[in-house]
Amino acid sequence: MLIERGKKKLSEVDNNLNCGQASQTCNSNCSACGVDCPSRNNNQAANNFMLEPNKYSSIKKVIAVMSGKGGVGKSMVTALLAAACAKAGLKTAIMDADITGPSIPKILGVSEKAMGGREGIFPAVSKFGIEIMSMNLLLDSDTAPVVWRGPIIAGMVSQFWQDVEWGDIDIMFIDMPPGTGDVPLTVFQSLPIDGIIAVTSPQDLTNMIVEKAVKMAELMNIKIIALIENMSGFKCPSCGQVHDIFGKSKLEEIAGQNNINTICRVPIEARIAQAADSGQLESLELDLFTPVLNAINNL
Alpha helices in the chain (DSSP H): 2-11, 38-46, 74-87, 104-107, 150-162, 182-190, 204-219, 251-257, 270-277, 290-297
Task: Give SS3 for 168.
Answer: strand
Phi, psi of 89 (to 5 degrees): 95, 10
This prediction has a pTM of: 0.81
CATH topology of domain 57-297: Rossmann fold (3.40.50)
> For the chain, what are the domain ranges?
57-297
For the chain, 299 residues long, give each residue's pLDDT as a single digit of tens. Answer: 443 343 333 233 333 333 333 334 554 444 445 555 544 444 444 446 899 999 999 999 999 999 877 888 899 999 999 999 999 999 999 999 999 999 999 999 998 889 887 788 999 999 999 999 999 999 988 888 898 888 899 999 999 999 999 999 999 999 999 888 889 999 999 999 999 999 988 887 777 777 788 888 888 999 999 999 999 989 888 887 889 988 888 889 888 888 899 999 999 988 999 999 999 999 998 889 999 999 999 98
3-state class percentages of the chain: helix first, strand second, coil last, to nearest 5: 35, 20, 45
